[in-house]
Amino acid sequence: MKHEARFVLGILAALLVLVQGFGNDALGQKRKPVRPRGGITQRSIDYSRFSHSTKQHQESCKSCHSAPTPNWQKVRAFPDVADYPDHDSCVRCHRPQFFKGAQPPICSVCHTKVSPRHDARYLFPNPRRPEQFKIEFPHDKHQDVIASWRIKSRLPGSFGSSVVKSAHAVTEDKSYNNCTICHGPATKAVAPPAGGWMDSFVPPVDAFKSAPEKHDACFNCHWKTEQPVRDNCAGCHKLAAVRYATVTTPVRISLKFSHEGGGEKKNHIAECTTCHINITKAASLRGLRPDVPITGCTECHNKEGLRQDLSKELAALDQNRTFACVYCHTSNVGKLDPPASHYLVAERPAIKPRGQER
């Protein structure tokens, strides 16, 4: 019996070690980088793929890029970096590759056709290539700069107060720069996600806001003295760890919300920070989420005597656990358990998550 007990204890101890190891892994799952055996190996270089992360390509940006490029007046309405660097930028290091064979692969980085008789180039920047840089944009600084300074008393000859009474209606008679100088209503439809729109719900074009796509949104201030200026590319463009594709379909939890909606009175047109409560503290775009608390919606959509959109759906869910909330959400989101905040705002007791009703 003693032997049995020792044997069992031994097995249990070994399993305990294993379980602990598993537990730690589960808490902080990190895949260790795979290192090639035997150190760095010489491999053939694909010269048709230009990378800014190559050490030799990390000199100051203006050593290759001109700002503006000589072609800006032909292709843009504003001075811009609108073309690839000159041949000299490549040849000064890549002479052997530049003159290798009839169709050197290195030429295809910029040129649509590799031939000495064709000088046509891809669009710059090339929208078909994955991005190599992330944008550094401090929302907080920009909001500070455009913010109004003070409110004035309504003395004779003064211009009144810079504040309004209602949460949503824009009744200001003064025009301030605010988020809309960069984020106006979208004017082109967003691409559908892979597999199509959920529930075949196609959001209207103006459901989303636009974001700056060109340099004019920056250069109008950051041209020559206000840093980062036009040739200080690294002030805004930070090399990404890996190349990535530009997001063409915005991810939104409440897909049915429209920024230009809110009925006849267009009540959704509000100051951005009224709902996007975290944006003014954002010093970077990294980790930025346009998180809107449910209270931003329920101020109108769950108000006694006005509307009970949230409470109605929570009540329906109480009656039928397969009910999907579709007033704001598409069914992929609506069939999930509502978060605690929804019950709290609706002043209803939270029901047990699906599958744990008993």
82 vs 90 by CB, closer to another protein: 82
- Could you tell me the smallest distance in angstroms from the CB atom of residue 315 to another protein? 19
Tell which residue, 290, 302, 300, has the closest CA to residue 267. Answer: 300
- Could you tell me the smallest distance in angstroms from the CB atom of residue 116 to another protein? 34
Stretch that binds another protein, among 35-43, 232-240, 289-297, 329-337 (CB under 8 A): 289-297
Choose which of 224, 286, 352, 354 interacts with another protein (CB under 8 A).
224
- Could you tell me the smallest distance in angstroms from the CB atom of residue 277 to another protein? 4
- List the structure tokens of 282: 């954002």
Tell which residue, 192, 200, 207, has the closest CA to residue 332. Answer: 200
116 vs 287 by CB, closer to another protein: 287
CA distance 176 to 164: 13
| Placement of tokens 């890996």 in the chain | 242
Tell which residue, 335, 333, 346, 353, has the closest CA to residue 297. Answer: 346
- List the structure tokens of 44: 């053939």
149 vs 357 by CB, closer to another protein: 149
Site string for another protein, 73-112 (x = CB under 8 A): x---xxx---------------------------------
203 vs 342 by CB, closer to another protein: 342
- Could you tell me the smallest distance in angstroms from the CB atom of residue 158 to another protein? 9
- List the structure tokens of 177: 């720069």
Stretch (H or E) spanning 307: strand 307-308
- Could you tell me the smallest distance in angstroms from the CB atom of residue 124 to another protein? 20
β-strand pairing of 237-244 with 131-135:
antiparallel
239 counts as binding another protein under rule CB under 8 A: no
Choose which of 63, 161, 249, 331 interacts with another protein (CB under 8 A).
161
CA 340 centroid distance within chain: 26
Tell which residue, 165, 173, 80, has the closest CA to residue 123. Answer: 80
- The secondary structure of 130-143 as a DSSP string is PEEEEE---HHHHH
356 counts as binding another protein under rule CB under 8 A: no
CA distance 162 to 150: 8
Q: Scanning residues 55 to 74, which ones bind another protein (CB under 8 A)?
A: 73
241 counts as binding another protein under rule CB under 8 A: no
Q: Scanning residues 135 to 154, which ones bind another protein (CB under 8 A)?
A: 140, 143-154
Stretch that binds another protein, among 44-52, 199-207, 252-260, 274-282 (CB under 8 A): 274-282
Q: Scanning residues 204 to 223, which ones bind another protein (CB under 8 A)?
A: 219-221, 223
- Could you tell me the smallest distance in angstroms from the CB atom of residue 320 to another protein? 27
Site string for another protein, 174-193 (x = CB under 8 A): xxxx----------------
Choose which of 99, 226, 239, 244 interacts with another protein (CB under 8 A).
226
Position 138: which residue type?
P
157 counts as binding another protein under rule CB under 8 A: no
CA distance 325 to 346: 14
163 counts as binding another protein under rule CB under 8 A: yes
CA 261 centroid distance within chain: 22
Phi, psi of 329 (to 5 degrees): -105, 160
Return the C-alpha torsion angle 19, 24, 27, 31, nearest 10: -110
CA distance 173 to 153: 16
Q: Site for another protein (CB under 8 A): how many residues?
A: 65
37 counts as binding another protein under rule CB under 8 A: no
Residues for the chain: how many in total?
358
Contact, 307 vs 300, CB < 8 A?
Answer: yes
Binding site for another protein (CB under 8 A): 1, 4-5, 7-8, 11-12, 15-16, 19-20, 22-23, 26-27, 73, 77-79, 140, 143-155, 159, 161-165, 167, 172, 174-177, 219-221, 223-226, 271, 273-274, 277-278, 280-281, 293-295, 341, 344-345
